[in-house]
Amino acid sequence: MEESRLMKYEIDENGYIIKGYEPDAKDIPDGVVDAWEGSGFFKPRYDREQGQWVEGATQEEIDEILKGTNPINEPVSEVEQMKEQILNLQRMCNVLMANQP
């Protein structure tokens, strides 16, 4: 049987990621879970009861991320621009990690 090449994640008591590990890392603690397969999540959360990854963001949070919270004519601060860039990078990383061979 071929070993999974998915990232492995240490999660907190609520199922949110604390730390990620490469699949061949030597220092992986007990209790880590494999990364999710399939489409990415905005805020991945591991549901221990279901034994699978679920979306941790509420629909309201997702809607805010997708539409942005800034009115069209209001100037955006540099900090807000950076926050948006970080969120976009985080979403892209989630998708890329989920699609690793």
Instruction: Give the alpha-carbon dihedral of 4, 29, 96, 56, to 10 degrees.
Output: 110
pLDDT, mean of residues 31-40: 80
pLDDT tens for residues 43-85? 889 999 999 899 998 888 888 878 765 555 556 678 877 888 8
Sequence ranges of the domains in the chain: 8-98
pLDDT, mean of residues 28-53: 85
Side chain identity at residue 76, one-letter code: V
pLDDT, mean of residues 18-42: 83
Is there a contact between 15 and 56 (Cβ–Cβ < 8 Å)?
yes
pTM: 0.57
State how far the Cα of 31 lies from the Cα of 21, in Å rounded to an integer.
12
